[in-house]
Structures are given as C-alpha cells and as structure tokens.
C-alpha cells in the first residue's frame, strides 16, 4: 500500500486538473469493481454490488490537491500566481513547484519594508529560470503543484509515519482502493467516489451524490490534530486511530451515522477517536444537502501540517481506517440516535 501512496502523492492533480490521478486510480481498480464510470465533471466512480438487501452507500475521497495558477508574466520572465484551494503564503517562501510539463520553479518573496509580517500571496513571485517574457516556459492560465517527494519518518516500523504533499486527500483515495480490495462480500451497493475540486467547491462530490442518490455517505479525508506544541486544543492525535466525525466548520455529522460507526469500531475493537474540527470541512458538507438530504458523516486520518508540502500521517491510522470501513460495510447497517 505504501508504494501506491507514493505514486498517488507524487502525481500531478491540482484542483480542476485531476486527469493524471484519475488515470492512476482507474488502473488500480479496473479488476476490483463491478462497474466503473467517469462523471461529467471528472469524478471516478467504482461500484461494488452486494446482495441487494442492504443500503446504497457512497464513500468519497477527493483526487485534487491545492496548487497555483499563473496570473501574469513580467518582461523579465517572473510570474505571479493565484491560489487553487487553501494555499498558505507562510508555507510558500522557498517552495518548489512543478507544472504539468515537468517545468520546475521556486517561489520567493518581494523585498518588503516590514519583514516581521507574513507575506501575502500577492507579494510572492515565481522564478522558473527565464531571462525574459519571450523565453518564459509558462504562461497565464498554467497550473502548478508543490513539488515534494514522499519520505518515511519515525524510528520503528510499527510507528511508521509518512510526510509528503497532497496526503490531503490522496491518502483517502488509497484507503478506498484498499477497502475495495479487501471487501469480499457486502449486502450493500457501495459507490467508491474519487471526486474532483473538493479544495474549492466540492462540485464533484455534489454532482456525484445527485447522480447516485445514496442512503448515506461518508467522506474519507484528513483532519487536524491537537498533538503538536501549542496546538489549538483538539481531541485527535496521530497514531491513536482514525477519527469519526462529530462536527466541523461546515457541518454536523448525522448522529445516527456517527453512532453506527462508533458502535462498529467498539465491537470490532478497532481504535478510533472523535473529531470536532474548527478550521475546515469535507465533501460531505455538500453531499448532505443534495436532493431531499443524505445522512452523512466522515472517517478522517489525523494529519499534521495540512496544506503544507510536508503533511504527516501515521500508517497505523490508515490501516485501522481500512479495517473499520470493511467492518462497517460487510454487515447490515443499523443506525439509531443512541
């Protein structure tokens, strides 16, 4: 699974330009699903058909990653950029970027009178090694991702941790593939949705949900942690199991969905945590409001330094997320308010 994660996180897939990632995922699932289709906006949807006596379940992980789009090139060949998704300027100074062509560049900051303040994205410029606008290899409208390889950290195999760009949410994509691989039997009709454009509008998940009209939906994504020095208090730590969503900045998880997930985790003795995240949301914020409403929740991987070029996760949390998803899907779904 680690090599699959490496392939996914090192691929090119900024918001709205997920083609390369979709091709990788489609090759991985071609022999695992009963049906595979691509939505009008680019979502990849794989269906696992069960006995027909269960529910229609939608699992969604997004393919896209944050990135940059070129807005201007000056006469010396330096480019200015705008964000695709939640790009933090503090993480950008000195960062390398890569375009679809393989062209590399480095982000630097303008000379400023007050260097005590964090620069804005407007104060950054992109140097691609050009000497003039005429020989600049990038143009207005070209998009780039942050350029970073996957690396392992941690002293023990049992506590292996990975750092990379775009673990948000390629790790969710990897979890869906591994769940599809391990789910031998299910009474449900399960839709594995690899969505587009979550980092901006969640339009991919929204339209996929309208098409599928599921009985319930789960986002498989990352969340923050409260286990770093002076972190905002949060009852989620890396290495303590996947987090079951209670609420975030955009939604409240359906209590019936949350309770069902907790009860299954407890019965199977799978470690879990409860997530209340104040800073962001997931695709199911949009999904839950589709049609007449869809009971929705989430299973999240605790991650440090989200939206940086060195997002960090614990592989133990990933393994337990897969185990819990299989446990949730192999049996009838019974949801209650208690």
DSSP string, 265-287: HHHTT---EEEE-SS---THHHH
CATH number (domain holding residue 80): 2.40.30.40
**Together in a domain, 188 and 53:** yes
| Mean pLDDT, range 325-335, rounded to an integer | 94
Choose the final residue of a domain: 89, 118, 146. 146
Residue 67 CA: distances (Å) to CA of 18, 121, 127, 142: 12, 12, 16, 11
- What is the pTM for the complete model shown? 0.95
With vertex at residue 310, the alpha carbon angle to CA 304 and CA 313, rounded to the nearest 5 degrees, is: 45
Q: What residues contact 224, with CB distance under 8 A and at least 6 apart? A: 232, 234, 236, 277, 279, 280, 302, 303, 304, 306
Nearest-angstrom CA–CA distance, 271 and 119: 41
Report yes or no on 153 lying in a domain: no
| Mean pLDDT, range 178-189, rounded to an integer | 95
94-141 tens-digit pLDDT: 999 999 999 999 999 999 888 888 899 999 999 999 999 999 999 999
**Together in a domain, 88 and 113:** yes
**Together in a domain, 244 and 310:** yes
> What pLDDT does residue 222 have?
98
**Together in a domain, 236 and 110:** no
> What pLDDT does residue 155 have?
58
What's the structural domain count of the chain?
Answer: 2
Report yes or no on 170 lying in a domain: yes
Q: Residue 89 belongs to what domain range?
A: 67-146
* Cis upstream peptide for 280 (omega within 30°): no
Give the active site residue among 178, 198, 199, 237: 198
Is the Cβ–Cβ distance between 6 and 179 less than 8 Å?
A: no
41-68 tens-digit pLDDT: 999 999 999 887 899 999 999 999 999 9
**Together in a domain, 235 and 114:** no
Report yes or no on 125 lying in a domain: yes
198 given a catalytic annotation: yes
Report yes or no on 96 lying in a domain: yes
């Amino acid at each position: 699974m680690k090599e699959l994660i490496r392939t996914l996180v090192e691929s090119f897939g900024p918001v709205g330009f997920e083609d390369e990632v979709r091709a990788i995922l489609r090759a991985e699932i071609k022999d695992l699903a009963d049906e595979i289709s691509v939505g009008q906006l680019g979502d990849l949807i794989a269906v696992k058909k069960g006995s027909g006596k269960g529910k229609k379940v939608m699992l969604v992980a997004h393919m896209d990653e944050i990135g940059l789009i070129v807005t201007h090139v000056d006469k010396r060949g330096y480019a200015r950029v705008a964000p695709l998704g939640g790009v933090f300027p503090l993480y950008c100074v000195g960062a390398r970027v890569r375009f679809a062509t393989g062209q590399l560049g480095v982000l630097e900051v303008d000379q400023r009178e007050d260097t005590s303040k964090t620069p804005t994205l407007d104060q950054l410029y992109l140097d691609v090694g050009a000497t003039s606008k005429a020989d600049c290899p990038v143009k207005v409208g070209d998009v780039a991702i942050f350029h970073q390889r996957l690396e392992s950290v941690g002293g023990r195999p049992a506590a292996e941790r990975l750092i990379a760009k775009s673990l948000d949410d390629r790790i969710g994509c990897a979890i869906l593939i591994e769940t599809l691989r391990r789910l031998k039997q299910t009474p449900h009709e399960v839709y594995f949705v690899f969505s587009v454009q979550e980092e901006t509008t969640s339009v991919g998940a929204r339209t996929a949900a309208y098409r599928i009209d599921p009985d319930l939906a789960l986002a498989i994504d990352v969340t923050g942690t409260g286990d770093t020095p002076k972190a905002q208090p949060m009852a989620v730590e890396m290495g303590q199991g996947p987090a079951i969503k209670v609420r975030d900045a955009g939604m409240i998880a359906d209590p019936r969905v949350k309770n069902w997930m907790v009860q299954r985790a407890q019965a199977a003795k799978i470690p879990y945590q409860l997530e209340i995240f104040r800073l962001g949301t997931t695709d199911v914020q949009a999904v839950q409001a589709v049609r007449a409403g869809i009971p929705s929740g989430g299973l999240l991987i605790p991650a440090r330094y989200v939206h940086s070029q060195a997002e960090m996760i614990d592989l133990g949390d990933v393994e337990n997320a897969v185990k819990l998803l299989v446990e949730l899907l192999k049996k009838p779904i019974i949801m209650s308010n208690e």
